[in-house]
Amino acid sequence: MNDVFMNTYHRLPVTFVKGNGAYLTDAQGREYLDFTSGIAVNCLGHNHPDLVQALGAQAARLIHVSNYFQSDASVMFAEKLTAISQMRRVFFCNSGAEANEGAIKIARKYSLKKYGPGRHTIVTLRDSFHGRTITTLSATGQEKFHVNFGPFTEGFTFIPPNNIEALEQALDKTVAGLFLEPIQGESGVHILSDEYLRRAAELCAEKDIVLMFDEIQSGLGRTGAFLASEHAGVRGDVVTLAKGLAAGIPVGAVLAGEKTCAVLETGDHGSTFGGNALAAAAGVVVLEKLAVPSFLAEITALGEYLLEGLRALNSPVITGMRGRGLIAACDLTIDARPVLERLISRTAAGTRGLLLLQGGPQTLRFLPPYIISRGQIDEGLALLNKALS
């Protein structure tokens, strides 16, 4: 592997040069079926014609102006995003971690201005993942990410997921915000129950705690609804988005509802590149697709087809699977890493490779693009079945 990069990733030994739809091609001309979508980023697949056209047209007109001004593209992007999410205002940044930093700042300022000092705790969940900055690491409930990087931002506490009793006990008078991933993707696609999310929303409304949903991996249609929290019929006071928001162009968003939309004032927060014209043009393409009910319905149907296919695999190393829409996981009795390596090495025999992700040491994570076909799902599961056997 190339040694000019910092050694921060355990990269698989493949270098890609082009993509088309659900397939990637490496430097040797071998093809791979992509069930990762760049970790839920390339939601429209690779080289989508509408995205390519929009990016080319926007680059020819305007790529970036600072956020001391507006561009017509960013205004359109903001209007479409607030409309489809049914939120009041948006702040654009560059990534999920930045979006989560913004959400935490909103929760703490809301509480400080209304109740004074001492009410600043942010409650998050064990097995959560909210980012890799010092503060978003502080919000992440996985000890493996904390090693070597302390001291951390104080004021965060962790409770077990889907435990309503622990939730009720944790939301005391010191709490400013509750930060939840409706689906804990990084730790293995663990889904918070609708009952749990509804109770969380009730408690936050009752205690005037800012309810924040990290929908960076679970949102933007990934589950068949625009936001995963919609399945429970609840909406956050703040919602964070990134990953697939511009289908491969970096952008993040902090969405605020009526309760929190006026918390941040001039000078409170900022971003040099956030929501620039190029990212906005790509984001508009994504949002226009997601605004079509039949597009979301097809994601739901494809997700059910994927889960049915996983259940049909007759491998003794599979111990269970779960998912919602086009985010799914498969638990194994063996380590997942060698399986990922085997799936890409199969191309040596002339067979297409398959790209999957880990969701824990013994869990495979599936995040195929929304444009995946049933035939490609069948192809991917056949490759997986061979690799497991």
Measured CA to CA, the distance from residue 280 to residue 246 in angstroms comes to 7
> Out of 214, 237, 289, 366, which one is annotated catalytic?
214
Strands (E), the chain: 16-20, 23-26, 31-34, 89-93, 121-125, 156-159, 175-180, 183-184, 190-191, 210-214, 238-241, 252-256, 318-324, 327-332, 353-355, 357-358, 363-366
243 classed as catalytic: yes
Active-site residue among 77, 91, 129, 156? 129
Tell me, yes or no, if 214 is annotated catalytic: yes
**Cα dihedral 98, 91, 74, 37 sign:** positive
Angle in degrees, CA 47, 72, 100, rounded to 5: 70
Distance CA 300, CA 314 (A): 24
Q: Is 325 helix (H, G, I), strand (E, B) or coil?
A: coil
Distance between CA atoms of 328 and 307, rounded to whole angstroms? 7
> What are the CA-CA distances from residue 120 to residues 173, 174, 180 (Å)?
9, 6, 16
Q: Considering 80, 105, 109, 243, which one is annotated as catalytic?
A: 243
* 149 has catalytic annotation: no
Q: Indicate the pairing of strand 23-26 with strand 31-34.
A: antiparallel
Cα of first residue to Cα of last residue in the chain, in angstroms, is 28
Q: Cβ(224)–Cβ(300) under 8 Å? A: yes
Q: What are phi and psi of 37, to 5 degrees?
A: 50, 35
Residue 183 has which token pair? Answer: 């689906």
Q: Is the peptide bond before 161 cis (omega within 30 degrees of 0)?
A: no
Q: For residues 133-149, b (16+ Cβ closer than 10 Å) or e, as one string? A: eebbbbbbbbeebeeee
Is the preceding omega at residue 369 within 30 degrees of 0, hence cis?
no
H runs (alpha helix) in 145-208: 164-170, 194-207
Q: What token pair was written down for 294?
A: 């039949």
Task: Give the residue numbers marked as catalytic.
Answer: 129, 214, 243
